[in-house]
Amino acid sequence: MPLELVHPEWGLIVPLLIMVGTIFALLVADLILPRDNQGAVAWVALAGLVASLASLLTIDWTAGESTFNGMFRADSFSLFINIVVLVAGILAVLISSSYVQSLQERGTMPMPEYLVLVMFSILGAMLVGAAGDLLIIFIGIEMGSLAVYVLTGFARRRMTSIEGALKYFLLGAFASAILVFGMAWIYGSTGTTSIPEISQQVGAIMAGEQLPEPALLLALLLLAVGLAFKIAAVPFHMWTPDAYQGAPTPVSAYMSVVPKVAGFAALARVLAEGLGPLSETWLLLIAILAIITMFYGNVVAISQRDVKRMLAYSSIGHTGYILVGLAAFSEDVPIEMSIGSVLFYLFAYTFMNIGAFAVVTWLQHRGQGVDLDSFNGLGVRSPLTALAMTVFMFSLMGVPPLIGFYAKYYVILAAIEAEMIWLAVAVVLASAVSAVFYLRVVVAMYFNDAEGEWRPQTTPMLGFGLMIMAVGTIALGFFSGPVLDLAMNWVDAFDV
């Protein structure tokens, strides 16, 4: 049949266009600026991100318009995802610029390329958030992942960095294959790749039947597996600790958030919106994955000495918590909290987790290692940094009144609204376990005496980023109302 070209509504994709523009600007800057002095490009990137963030205001998201034949959708869900990833991007740039320029890593790390890659992966994540079609999800995820593969191996003179990148890359490619195979089967069993149509088709198929036909089920499971890999759910998490540990610290910070956000966005789009009618089938799977994930992550984190690796496991644990929100989804009676809590958690997670990695970066700048001992006596050496780290740790632990607590609270609320009290109990038990290793960092900072040499250094941008994140972690909890409302709007986005 003939394809008639429609004139796309460029207005809706302004934020993405700005990102693309920024990328070009960065490439140009790379050409004109001399190799040894490229600090300015960080500002270019920041400007681009902020502009893109600001441009979100120009769009009426509640209308839920779409363009490119509904492939790209500007609805409240995509708005929230955009906000999260852009904020994450800003924070990532803030904490990484000085790290990338200074010689923390053997071998030089060209600033502009680094930023370009970051921008690309953000662009990918934004695409996933706005996806109205499996194709866009695939493209977005791949765009993000490919960029992050490179970033992981960005310290190319350090073997561990390469190793992390290699593992991440091979497993990632493998998982993408599974994912896209799942998409193929969806397409095969519904005849479309557009998510709303999929949900109609599936609804039609499921009408009357109790159990889905095998092809559809296979498709569903393949998709679930593929995306579970992206969000690092057990047992598809294996790459996470190695990649996080190997990657340059700011990259770990970044990759612990944005790809995860993209993954969850895809999960929500595909499972909740597209395969909503199948929810009875996949809810249990998600719930079980959630429990396994949160316990594995938190328990194994206890026996880690390397803080980056510990945070990697902790991020696996948090994946478990977030999955609980997804598991609270229900097709017939929309539980606002379910996807809402997922989104809010991602938002909260952005601040506290990037913050935690940022403190590690901050320490590396001052000649410290990344193991637990390098935190000894930080409370005396730099009370404010220690305070920030304390805030992040307790927030990750889920101690009120920090934002992490609110996030966890909403997840628990969602679980209980979905009458899954056992899931809520699991969450708090896992948090109790997690307290052990988060607390260990605080103990090291305040109760142990400082050791090792200390290279004072000024890192204004990093410090500024730390301050933003600490303040955000403290304040955004109290004023989580608006954010939560925004997150709750997913309901009108996925017309469930």
Partner 1 sequence: MNELMPEHFMFLSAALFIIGMVGVLTRRNVLVIFMCVELMLTAVNISFIGFAWEFSQLTGQIFALFIIAIAAAEAVIGLGIIMALTRQRDTVDIDEVRELRQ
Partner 2 sequence: MSSWLFLIPLLPLAAAVINFLFGRWFLQHASQWIATLAVAASFVLSIPVFLQIASDEQSISQHLYTWIPAGDFNIPVTLFVDQLTATMLLVVSGVGLLVHIYSIGYMHGDPGIYRFFSYLPLFVFSMLMLVLADNFLVLFVFWEAVGLCSFLLIGFWYRRRSAASAAKKAFIVNRVGDFGFGIGILLIFVTYGTIEYAGVFGQVGDATQTTITVIALLLFTGAIGKSAQLPLFVWLPDAMEGPTPVSALIHAATMVTAGIFVIARAYPIVSQSADAMLVIAIIGAATAFIAATIAVTQYDIKKVVAYSTVSQLGFMAFALGSGAWIAAIFHLVTHAFFKGLLFLGAGSVIHGMHEEQDMRKMGGLKKYMPLTYWTFLIGAAANAGIIPLAGFWSKDEIILGTWLGDQPIIMVVAFITAFFTSLYMFRAVFMTFHGEERFDAEQVHPHESPRVMTIPLVVLAFFAVTVGFIGFPPEDGWFHHFLDPVFPGMPHPDVAWSTIVLFAAISTVIALSGLYIQYMAYVKRSISPRGISELLGPLYKLAANRWYLDEIYDVLIVRPLVAFSMFLWRFVDAQVIDGTVNGVGSLVTYTSNQWRRAQTGLIANYVFAIALGAVIIIGAFMIFGSNLFE
Partner 3 sequence: MDSLPILSLMTYSPLAGALVILLWVNAPANAARWIALVAASASLVFSLIMLAMFDRGESGMQLTESFRWLPDVGIEYQLGVDGISLPLIILTTLLVVISIIASWDAIQTRVREYMIVMLLLATGMIGVFVSLNLFLFYIFWEVVLIPMALMIGIWGSANRIYAAVKFFLYTLAGSLLMLVAIVATYQSYFEQTGERTLNVLQLTQGDYSTDFQMWVFLAFFLAFAIKIPLWPFHTWLPDAHVEAPTAGSVLLAGVLLKMGGYGLIRFNLPMFPDASEAFAPLIVVLSVIAIIYGAFVALVQTDLKKLVAYSSVSHMGFVTLGIFAFNAQGMYGAMIVMISHGLVTGALFLLVGVVYHRAHTRLIEKLGGLATNMPIYASFFGLFMLASLGLPGLSGFVGEFLAILAAFREYQLAGIISMAVVILSAWYMMWMFQRVVWQRAPGEPPDPDDPELKLANGDAPPTVAGGSGDHHEDVDPRTLTDVNAKEILTLAPLAALTIWIGVQPGPFMDLMRPALEALLQPFGGTGF
| Residue 454 site contact among partner 1, partner 3, partner 2, none (CB < 5 to 8 Å, cut-off depends on kind) | none
Give the nearer residue to partner 1 in terms of CB position, either 245 or 489.
245
Parallel/antiparallel/unpaired status of strands 72-74 and 65-67: antiparallel
**In whole angstroms, what is the distance from residue 54 CA to residue 91 CA?**
16
Kindly list the distances between the CA atom of residue 488 and the CA atoms of 82, 144, 187, 324, 336, in Å, as whole numbers in the listed order.
Answer: 15, 26, 30, 16, 6
**In whole angstroms, what is the distance from residue 222 CA to residue 228 CA?**
10
Judged by CB under 8 A, the residue of 82, 242, 250, 279 near partner 2 is: 242
CB 256 to partner 1: min, Å:
16
| Residue 349 site contact among partner 2, partner 1, partner 3, none (CB < 5 to 8 Å, cut-off depends on kind) | none
Please name which of 144, 117, 62 lies closest in space to residue 250, comparing C-alpha atoms.
117
When asked if residue 171 is in the footprint of partner 2 (CB under 8 A), the reply is: yes
Binding mask 442-471 for partner 3 (x = CB under 8 A): -x--xx------------------------
Which residues fall within 8 angstroms of residue 330, CB to CB, at 6 or more apart?
279, 283, 338, 418
Q: Which two tokens stand for residue 399?
A: 């101690």
DSSP 424-435: HHHHHHHHHHHH
When asked if residue 380 is in the footprint of partner 1 (CB under 8 A), the reply is: no
| Residue 383 site contact among partner 2, partner 1, partner 3, none (CB < 5 to 8 Å, cut-off depends on kind) | partner 3
DSSP 244-288: HHHS-HHHHHHHTTHHHHHHHHHHIIIIIIITGGGHHHHHHHHHH
Residue 34 three-state SS: coil
239-268 binders of partner 1 (CB under 8 A): 241-242, 245-246
When asked if residue 488 is in the footprint of partner 3 (CB under 8 A), the reply is: yes
Binding mask 404-433 for partner 3 (x = CB under 8 A): -x---xx-xx--xx---x--xx--xx-xx-
Q: Per CB under 8 A, which region of 109-117, 202-210, 377-385, 452-460 contacts partner 3?
A: 377-385
Q: Per CB under 8 A, which region of 153-161, 323-331, 393-401, 409-417 contacts partner 1?
A: 153-161
Give the nearer residue to partner 2 in terms of CB position, either 439 or 467.
439
Q: Per CB under 8 A, which region of 70-78, 163-171, 199-207, 353-361 contacts partner 2?
A: 163-171
* Contact of 168 with 148, CB cutoff 8 Å: yes
**In whole angstroms, what is the distance from residue 489 CA to residue 486 CA?**
5
Residue 304 three-state SS: coil
Q: Which two tokens stand for residue 379?
A: 């409370």
CB 429 to partner 3: min, Å:
7
CB 369 to partner 1: min, Å:
16
Q: Which two tokens stand for residue 105?
A: 């890593």
Helix orientation angle between 460-478 and 383-397, rounded to the nearest 10 degrees: 40
CA 169-172-173 angle, 5° bins: 85
CB 421 to partner 3: min, Å:
6
Give the nearer residue to partner 2 in terms of CB position, either 124 or 246.
246
Judged by CB under 8 A, the residue of 191, 400, 401, 452 near partner 1 is: 191
Which helix or strand (DSSP H or E) is residue 80 part of? helix 76-101
Give the nearer residue to partner 2 in terms of CB position, either 294 or 359.
294
Q: Which two tokens stand for residue 81?
A: 């995802």
CB 294 to partner 3: min, Å:
13
296-315 binders of partner 2 (CB under 8 A): 296, 299-304
Residue-wise burial string across 420-439, b where 16 or more C-beta atoms lie within 10 A, e elsewhere: beebbebbeebbebbbebbe
Binding mask 274-293 for partner 1 (x = CB under 8 A): --------------------
31-90 binders of partner 3 (CB under 8 A): none
Please name which of 98, 103, 271, 145 lies closest in space to residue 198, comparing C-alpha atoms.
271
The dihedral formed by the CA atoms of 94, 99, 100 and 106, expressed in degrees to the nearest 10: -170
Which residues fall within 8 angstroms of residue 340, CB to CB, at 6 or more apart?
325, 410, 414, 484, 487, 488, 490, 491
When asked if residue 205 is in the footprint of partner 2 (CB under 8 A), the reply is: no
Give the nearer residue to partner 1 in terms of CB position, either 74 or 165.
165
Which helix or strand (DSSP H or E) is residue 67 part of? strand 65-67
**In whole angstroms, what is the distance from residue 332 CA to residue 330 CA?**
6
When asked if residue 185 is in the footprint of partner 1 (CB under 8 A), the reply is: yes
When asked if residue 183 is in the footprint of partner 1 (CB under 8 A), the reply is: yes
Q: Which amino acid is at 117?
A: L
When asked if residue 173 is in the footprint of partner 1 (CB under 8 A), the reply is: yes
CB 141 to partner 1: min, Å:
10
CB 336 to partner 3: min, Å:
8
Positions that interact with partner 1 (CB under 8 A): 1, 3, 134-135, 138-139, 142, 146, 149-150, 153, 156-157, 159-160, 162-167, 169-170, 173-174, 176-178, 180-181, 183-185, 187-188, 191-193, 241-242, 245-246
Positions that interact with partner 3 (CB under 8 A): 379-380, 383, 394, 399-401, 405, 409-410, 412-413, 416-417, 421, 424-425, 428-429, 431-432, 435-436, 439, 443, 446-447, 480-481, 484-485, 488
Positions that interact with partner 2 (CB under 8 A): 166-167, 170-171, 174-175, 178, 211-214, 217-218, 221-222, 224-225, 229, 235-236, 238-239, 241-242, 281, 285, 296, 299-304, 433, 436
